[in-house]
A and B are shown apart, each in its own frame.
Chain A
Amino acid sequence: SYELTQPPSVSVSPGQTASITCSGHKLGYKYACWYQQKPGQSPTLVIYQDTKRPSGIPERFSGSNSGTTATLTISGTQAMDEADYYCQGWDSDTVVFGGGTKLTVL
C-alpha cells in the first residue's frame, strides 16, 4: 500500500523559515496537500494541489512538490503556527495521510 513519510518533529525559531517534508513513491506525479491541526481542533487545509492556498490562509504558507518529496514551507514562522501538520495524497482511489509532524516554535 502507498505510504507517505514525514519527520515526527521540526523545530524553528520565531521569524525563521520552517520546512516540513513528505516523501512517497513518485509523489511529484500526484497532487499533495497539507493540513494544520492545533490541539483539540479539527484539521484545517493550508495547501492544496501542491501549491495553492485556500482563502484565509496567510501568504507565509507555501508548498512545493517534485520527484518523491512534497514540502510545506512557513516563512516568518509565528508562535501561532505551532501545531501538527499532515500531508495527504492519494493512490489507486485510496486516500493516504502522512504520519504527521509536530512543529515547535521556540
Chain B
Amino acid sequence: QVQLVESGGDLVKPGGSLRLSCAASEFTFSDDYMSWIRQAPGKGLEWVAYISGGGSFKHYGDSVKGRFTISRDNAKNSLYLQMNSLRAEDTAVYFCARGGTFYFESWGQGTLVTVSS
C-alpha cells in the first residue's frame, strides 16, 4: 500500500522559511510525478507545485512562484518543499501527493504550516 508521510510543518513568522519533507514508500518513486497541494483552514484545495520523476521539470502555482522550490531525492524516496518569504496567506495544511497534472492517486495525511507573528 502506497504511503506518503509529510513532516516539517511548524509555526513560523512572516518573512521566514521552512522546509517540508515527504517520505514515500511502496511504489517506484522515481517513476512518478509528485506534487504539493495545500488547504487553508476551512477552505478548498490549492495546487502548489509538481515535479517530474527525474526532477528536471517543475511547475508552480502563481501564488508561490519565486518563493517556493520543489525538489526530490530519488535515492531517499523523498520529496521536499522549500518555502521562503512566507506570508500569512501561506497558512495551510500541506499535502504531498503522487501524480502531476491529470490526477493525484495517493495523498499523505498533511502537515500544518502556520505563518503568524
Binding site for B on A (CB under 8 A): 1, 31, 33, 35, 37, 42-45, 48-49, 54, 86, 88, 90, 93-100
| Pair count A-B, CB < 8 A | 55
Interface pair B47/A97, CB less than 8 Å apart: yes
> Is the pair B47, A95 in contact by a Cβ cutoff of 8 Å?
yes
Inter-subunit contact B62/A97 (CB<8 Å)? no
Q: Is B47 a contact partner of A96 (Cβ separation < 8 A)?
A: yes
Task: Collect the chain A residues with CB atoms within 8 Å of residue B107's CB.
Answer: 42-44
**Does the CB pair B95–A42 fall under 8 Å?**
yes
Q: How far is the CB of A89 from chain B (nearest CB, A)?
A: 9
Tell me what chain A mostly uses at the interface: helix, strand, loop, or mixed.
Answer: strand
Q: How large is the interface on B (under 10, 10 to 19, 20 to 34, 35 or more residues)?
A: 20 to 34
Closest CB in chain B relative to A55 CB, distance in Å: 10
- Nearest-CB residue, chain B, relative to A99: B44
B50 close to chain A: CB less than 8 A? yes
Closest residue on chain B to residue A1 by CB atoms? B62
Q: How far is the CA of A100 from the CA of B44 in the complex (A)?
A: 6
